[in-house]
């Protein structure tokens, strides 16, 4: 059984966004059993210092699959996807298209989105953040509009639902504190399609249950 590492506690604004959600979702879509090891201070939790031996940057998630230990959510989601045609087609062309969109989610889309989220959630009162925010918002708007044009005639990024949709819709979720996704009805509908999947709902419920515990 795979073992996914996750934080036992995060600030309320981050709950439902922490990147182990992506891994849990992929595992649920693939129908693979897994357990979680929670990191933090307190009885029954893995101390953060000890976790550094597993994930050198101290971030989540990390995944153990037998003797294999992986970190970085994109790498883990792709590792899980290799186990299931539900997430990654076996034909070379279909596989290449999914991989293309996985990288687009983590590079082209997530970088500007994360920059805006950091301004809004970590530095809202800083003068430099207030000055930088308009440009950050416009950069995100541009990327969202470009993405909307790519999927306006399809339900998912690369044919059927795939690992690319797990990653892309997780990235769009970072913007939930804004109305930027709602400004693009195509993207709002896409995100809703992804987040109403039973596997996503199970993954989210499991993460939130760990925080409550």
Report the CATH number of the 2-86+199-212 domain.
3.40.30.10
Q: What is the pLDDT of residue 112?
A: 98
Residue 188's pLDDT band (cuts 50, 70, 90): very high
CA distances from residue 141 to 12, 115, 131, 148, 189 in whole angstroms, order as listed: 26, 13, 17, 10, 17
Give the pLDDT confidence of 44-76 residue by residue, as tens digits.
999 999 999 999 999 999 999 999 999 999 999
Residue 36: the pLDDT is 98
Q: How much is the pLDDT for 22? A: 98
The full set of domain ranges for the chain reads 2-86+199-212, 92-197
pLDDT of the residue at 122: 94
Mean per-residue pLDDT of the chain = 97
**DSSP output for 6-68:** EES---GGGTTTSTHHHHHHHHHHHT--EEEEEESSSTTSB-HHHHTTTSTT--S-EEEETTE
Task: Tell me the pLDDT tens digit for each residue of 96-154.
Answer: 999 999 999 999 999 999 999 999 999 999 999 999 999 999 999 999 999 999 999 99
Rounded distance, CA 184 to CA 41, Å? 41
Class of domain 92-197: mainly alpha
Statement: residue 10 has pLDDT above 90: yes
- Helix and strand element counts for the chain (H, E): 9, 4
pTM of the model: 0.96
pLDDT at 111: 98
Q: Would you place residue 200 in the very low, low, confident or very high pLDDT band (cuts 50, 70, 90)?
A: very high
- pLDDT at residue 146, as a whole number: 98
Instruction: Tell me what pLDDT residue 213 has.
Output: 81
Q: What is the pLDDT of residue 186?
A: 97
């Amino acid at each position: 059984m795979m073992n996914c590492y996750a934080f036992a506690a995060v600030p309320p604004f981050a709950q439902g966004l922490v990147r182990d959600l992506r891994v849990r979702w992929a595992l649920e879509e693939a129908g693979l059993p897994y357990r979680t090891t929670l990191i933090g201070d307190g009885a029954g939790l893995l101390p953060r210092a000890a976790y550094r031996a597993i994930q050198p940057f101290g971030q989540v998630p990390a995944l153990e699959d037998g003797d294999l230990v992986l970190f970085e959510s994109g790498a883990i989601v792709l590792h899980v996807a290799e186990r299931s045609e539900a997430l990654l087609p076996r034909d070379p062309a279909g596989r290449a298209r999914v991989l293309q969109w996985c990288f687009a989610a983590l590079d082209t889309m997530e970088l500007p989105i994360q920059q805006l989220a950091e301004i809004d959630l970590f530095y809202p009162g800083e003068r430099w953040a207030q000055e930088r925010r308009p440009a950050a918002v416009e950069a995100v708007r541009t990327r969202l509009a470009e993405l909307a044009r790519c999927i306006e005639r399809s339900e998912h990024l690369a044919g059927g639902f795939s690992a690319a949709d797990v990653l892309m819709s997780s990235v769009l979720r970072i913007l939930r504190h804004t109305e930027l996704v709602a400004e693009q009805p195509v993207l709002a509908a896409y995100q809703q399609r992804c987040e109403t999947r039973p596997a996503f709902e199970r993954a989210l419920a499991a993460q939130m249950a760990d925080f409550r515990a």
